[in-house]
Structure 1
Amino acid sequence: MTFHKRVTRALCVGLNTAVITMEAVIEVPAVTDGSPPPWPVAAMAPGSWLVLNAGCADDQVGLFVAALAGRIEVQPPGGRDEVANALLAEEILIAAGGLQVRDRTIGTVVTPGCCAGLEDWRDWAQVLIGDSPWLGHDPGPEVEVVSDDLRVWQDGGETRHRGRWAGVHVDLPNRALPGLLIGVQRDLVGFLDALTGWATRVGLQQRGTALVEAIDKNFAITAPLDVQPFR
């Protein structure tokens, strides 16, 4: 089985007794508003998080594509081909989401903030040069450097403005971040495989190939990932 066909998982890194994962996610939209999608979509609560990897079922992939289409104008009758055409006509595809960091030992999770986008997932590499990327607002996730570790705050912006750090956070060694980002890219490459299979089964034909290429380009999935050790 090739690399592209293997079910991938987020890279796990031990931190004392903790296990830290990083996953690419999108925020689930209210896809029932307006016309229903022209293909089956997973029944997930609006505002929850859909994890993207090679293990996504067809209805989860369909939900992802419906989330992309929900942001653009689709010509009537709004069927499969019209949705695909509208997506392919867009100069930029975006999706609310980003990277989710979880401590699986204690169950703590930090999710992307409001207005963060999956298309900016590579901005996490800024942490490797000592900067915190913009991870959304309300409440404003943020990364703090604590000695040789990184502390990812769910509400970093709000608590820092009050002169203190507090609340939900996940700690990980800074040396682990390059591997975690490589794991995210592996998951997204696997998701492209799931997307390719879905497009074939839905019957998009050449539109499906073009859509996979457009999503790859807009979300910077297969482009080389340059991650250097933390300085």
Structure 2
Amino acid sequence: MGDIEFNSAVITMQAVVEVPALDNDPAPPWPAAQTGPWSWLPLNADCTDEELGLFLAALAARIEVLPPRGRHEVVDTLLAEELLIIAGGLQVSDPSTGRVVVPGCCAGLEDWRDWAQALAGGSPWLGHDPGPEIGAVGEDLRVWQDGGPDRHRGRWAGLHVDLPRHALPQLLMGVQRDLVGLLDALAGWAERADLGRQGTALVRAIDHSFTITAPWDFPEG
């Protein structure tokens, strides 16, 4: 998890995915954490096997898996996708105030690197309903949970987290370390699940789809 001290507060940034409602789908072919739908699952090296199983079940929830829907069929279906996508993104927290900004509806973890656009004065699309947005406040960045009409009329109100603009690369590289740790955890899970080459290919596909290990080229402001 990326973190930075700012105004005596430690601002944290982490990759999260939204847990879908899996009640109407066939049960995952591996143990999966029993986490309430529409909650947020943090992704890092510390994920348990059950949390990894939930992450993979969420990846497969939007894809039709043909019977018998065992673990090999699910993984084959994931590997057949050109790009994997999943609801989620980056969550920013200020533990000193308890404020947390989460991804908006329809945001995807696959776009997490778009946050770097804020270094050049842009605000990436972070979802809607509510619509998170990044704005500049002097040399700092203000991450709004809802960049709605009040924000655009200049009334700086509502839930937000502030962080120094110069700290954003450090925070994003912290997220990258978390996601690299996730890949390592998935590799271990796949070995324990006896997936063989399927498991190796799955880890590679997740790395590719979510641009995890690629080097950074941060824009200049």
TM value normalised by structure 1? 0.92
Q: 1:114 to 1:158 in 2, by over 3 A?
A: farther
Confirm whether residue 14 of structure 1 aligns to residue 8 of structure 2: no
Q: CA deviation at 1:190?
A: 0.4
Map of 1:33 onto structure 2 = 24
Map of 1:65 onto structure 2 = 56
Instruction: Tell me if the contact between 1:156 and 1:166 (Cα under 8 Å) persists in the aligned partners.
Output: no
TM value normalised by structure 2? 0.96
What is the distance in 2 between the residues matched to 1:50 and 1:225? 25
Q: 1:100 to 1:158 in 2, by over 3 A?
A: farther
Any gaps of 5 or more consecutive residues in structure 2?
Answer: none
C-alpha RMSD of the superposition: 1.3
Instruction: Tell me if the contact between 1:143 and 1:153 (Cα under 8 Å) persists in the aligned partners.
Output: yes
Instruction: Tell me if the contact between 1:156 and 1:165 (Cα under 8 Å) persists in the aligned partners.
Output: no
Map of 2:73 onto structure 1 = 82
Match of 2:130 among 129, 132, 139: 139
Aligned-partner SS, 2:148:
helix
1:105 is matched by which residue type in structure 2? S
Aligned-partner SS, 2:86:
coil
1:143 is matched by which residue type in structure 2? I
Equivalent positions of 1:80-119 (< 5 A) are: 80-119=71-110
What is the distance in 2 between the residues matched to 1:20 and 1:152? 12
Match of 1:178 among 142, 147, 169: 169
What is the distance in 2 between the residues matched to 1:189 and 1:110? 23
Equivalent positions of 1:36-47 (< 5 A) are: 36-47=27-38
Paired residues in the alignment total: 221
Aligned-partner SS, 2:150:
helix
- Runs of 4+ in structure 1 over 4 Å off: none
Sequence identity (%): 67
Q: CA deviation at 1:79?
A: 0.7
What is the distance in 2 between the residues matched to 1:114 and 1:159? 20
Instruction: Tell me if the contact between 1:23 and 1:100 (Cα under 8 Å) persists in the aligned partners.
Output: yes
